Amino acid sequence: MFMRIDHIGIACRDLEEKIELFSRTFELTVVAREVNEEQGVKEAMLHIADGEGGGSYIQLLEPLSDDSPVGKFLAKRGEGVHHVAFGVPDVEEAMATIGEKGVRLLDERPRHGSMGSQIAFLHPKDVGGMLTELVQAAKQD
């Protein structure tokens, strides 16, 4: 069902500072920057590699407010790994297959993710404490 790891999401207090840190340390390049009001984040995608079905990235996330998911995470746990995102060919199909196994879906239907993707989250308590995102990458021409 999973094709690949699409990205690792990292919660940051200062996006610009962490872009500088990750770019310098791992020699990665920012390929997209977005404000996603629906998810309550300002974010940057740093490209790692390309593969079958799409690329893989580090996603740096700064909350837009303290009561957003990433804002609450920072207050509780501090900066660090926030979620792991798996690339799937069809996000609705993956949601249905995983939902049937009793894992709680945090989204009833896919939402807009980075770079034109469609995404949905799974409850961390049902996935061994790991907040999990399913990503269907935008179609490439």
Q: Which parts of this chain interact with ligand CMX (CB under 6 A)?
A: 9, 36, 39, 41, 59, 61, 69-70, 72-73, 76, 82-83, 106, 113-114, 121, 124-125, 129, 131, 133
CA–CA gap between residue 40 and residue 25 (Å, rounded):
27
- Interacting residue with Co ion among 85, 95, 120, 131 (CB under 5 A): 85
Q: Which of 82, 118, 133, 136 is catalytic?
A: 133
Ranked by CB distance to ligand CMX, the top (closest) residue is 69
Q: Which residue in 62, 83, 118, 136 is the catalytic one? A: 83
The whole-angstrom separation of Cα 27 and Cα 127 is 31
* Nearest to 51, CA basis, from 137, 120, 132, 134: 137
Asked about 118 being catalytic, the answer comes back as no
Q: How far apart are CA 67 and CA 43, in angstroms?
A: 17
